[in-house]
Structure 1
């Protein structure tokens, strides 16, 4: 076993949830060897072609990761591991929400568009090959920006933004990738909608946290109204300009929003979860052209965090 590979205990937790067949060509190649290769790339950021030979053909490792990113297998594995932890009462449902900017490598630009079959502005057209048709048909829509791949332009170049929620033990619950200039408050509903922890046995998946802590980036009317409508307690500080506008109106400005300072102190859990995610170099810097593949990369990194805590 190499450094960073799955231990026997981690493998025992993961293998019952793995798909047995790829649906087209019979059984998969050894899952453990391929997953270790994927996690090696996620951890080190090495180019796929430069994967060590002990992981097998690099093309097999890459195609497995690309397909599992497209059909949602990484997301399902993360949810099933979360479900096992929730059944053992190991999930702290006082969650926190935040985002982090990820610098995109210069080679990320130029991904072909899925629908039109052409590159982003200035590129050449290309037909979709039959080998990739299955994965591309299951591919989730892009996040906007350059080519719809969750890329945004800034003075520093291409950037993406990773929005996430984390439980009270610094483990990611849900992940969303958008262009780097996208405001945090616009993605709160999307991030919370992606929290879906299945039950072990009968019952609907759990989607509602006990409480939420977030910074001033989420302090606006639509976010607070959404949380009140769902009956979710929240600790979000009021912006200075919003407070001043409310005070100017006097009694017509209404009461100040509720704010629990002690609960807000736990918001650092999402910052620590981001720090854990960015220990993986393929998350700290985006090397994936496709937005759905980068989301799969971050989900695989989150899965490792759950397996190892």
Structure 2
């Protein structure tokens, strides 16, 4: 059997969040299904290559889509982020290459896919707690600069003492925004900054 990620204590917390929403009902195979989803996300393997110990790959894939559309996975994320260690908050952005067939179809929804020299890409703007666990995220087109989502990341995180970012976030406006949120900005200045180091 593949290595599992959920302890009994963790599953008890997650199952309460899932079932209290009233949008899914208690089934004994939900734990294995969630383990299968986590295994796929951790390893990056295709759905069809999921070990059969988790159940049929097609059933796990359908459940993943259903829980995503119902917002169950977002509820789990929000419930887990409430227990974060918010002494420090780290913010950054990371580009994810989008598959060549991921865009082009007409849709009214924002797909958060942008064109750049590297091709189609999406950017994940992420805020993590002192232990490196995610507490808030936003998606944008891959050609969007990190600073565009910086204030939103800080504003939507629980209150923290320090906000840490890299030189890509060098902005006096952002530093002032962080201070107005009762936190200390820890953001290095770019080499060509006229202000000096902080």
Shorter-normalised TM-score: what interval?
A: 0.7 to 0.9
TM-score, normalisation: structure 1: 0.56
**Structure 1, residues 29-65: CA drift from partner, whole Å, max 9, x if none?**
7210210121122122233344333333434322322
Count of aligned pairs between the two proteins: 198
TM-score, normalisation: structure 2: 0.82
**Structure 1, residues 201-243: CA drift from partner, whole Å, max 9, x if none?**
xxxxxx2211111112111233123223323211212334341
Paired residue for 1:185, among 147, 153, 163?
Answer: 147
1:228 matches 2:190: no
Give the 3 Å change call, closer, same or farther, for CA 186–237 of structure 1 in structure 2: same
Q: What residue is the counterpart of 1:170 in the other structure?
A: 132
1:109 matches 2:103: yes
Q: What residue is the counterpart of 2:12 in the other structure?
A: 12
Paired residue for 2:116, among 151, 154, 158?
Answer: 154
Offset at residue 75 of structure 1 (A): 2.6
Equivalent residues of 2:136, 2:156 under 8 A apart: yes
Over aligned residue pairs, what C-alpha RMSD do you find?
Answer: 2.8
Q: What residue is the counterpart of 1:30 in the other structure?
A: 29
**Unpaired stretches in structure 2, ≥5 consecutive residues:** none
Q: What residue is the counterpart of 1:76 in the other structure?
A: 75
**Structure 1, residues 218-277: CA drift from partner, whole Å, max 9, x if none?**
11233123223323211212334341xx5xxxxxxxxx68x2xxxxxxxxxxxxxxxxxx
Larger C-alpha radius of gyration, 1 or 2?
1
1:215 matches 2:166: yes
Offset at residue 111 of structure 1 (A): 4.8
Using CA pairs under 8 Å that are at least 6 residues apart, name the structure with larger relative contact order, 1 or 2. 1
**Structure 1, residues 167-225: CA drift from partner, whole Å, max 9, x if none?**
22222221222111110100112222332xxxxxxxxxxx2211111112111233123
Runs of 4+ displaced beyond 4 Å: 26-29
